[in-house]
Amino acid sequence: MAHIPEGVLSAPVLITGALVTTAAVAYAIRKLDYDRLPQAAVLAACFFVASLVAVPAGPSSVHLLLNGLMGLMLGWLAVPALLVALLLQAVFFGFGGLLVLGVNCLNIALPALLSYYLVSPWLNRALLANNRRQLFISGMIAGAIGVAGTGALVCLALVLSGPQYLAAGKIIMLTYLPLLLVESLITGAIVGFVAKVAPELLQRQLPQPLVAEESHATN
């Protein structure tokens, strides 16, 4: 249940989620690279379609997130891409809702950014060494971070809205365990494939501090 429905979260959680998401989207737009918009559109469409295929898991359901992959390939651009996809899902299919859109976007986008900053440096070294095993593992780690982070943030949003949701949060975390395994394998396979056919899609998305350090070391 990555899409928290309307009427569940408290007003402070909703407001905080909306404000943080608004700030993140504004920052991402300032860093926008228009050449990467087609790539963002394709990944947002993949996220949109993957989210429509939900598999029942106990009292809840799970679906592929692909936010770890989006973080690796898009960096900060993943935030507005996810927001647009979630908005369309809320409008056309009733997933989540407009009032909870900020929280739902934050729950999925923040782990995407975490994957970007934590995994991209290791991914770059694997690309430079053409190490297929490390490329696959990098993708697996990014996928695992995306799912685990989203699950933790969903539970946190529920618990902060009221102690009555604590039991539901624990159940949701359990349902995310098989998803974590599946998504990490899928993300690892996709990263390995992209690195083979179009490695520039991964190389140019490195966090800026790393790029600056490598340039300085080269000089």
**Tens-digit pLDDT profile for residues 74-124:** 999 999 999 999 999 999 988 888 999 999 999 999 999 999 999 999 999
**Tens-digit pLDDT profile for residues 10-37:** 999 999 999 999 999 999 999 888 888 9
pTM recorded for the entire structure: 0.87
Long-range contacts of 82-91 (CB under 8 A, 24+ apart): 82/44, 82/47, 82/108, 82/109, 82/112, 83/21, 83/25, 83/109, 84/44, 85/44, 85/45, 85/47, 85/48, 85/51, 86/3, 88/48, 89/3, 89/48, 89/51, 89/52, 90/3
**Tens-digit pLDDT profile for residues 142-199:** 999 999 999 999 999 999 998 888 887 788 788 888 889 999 999 999 999 999 998 8
Residue 216 pLDDT: 45
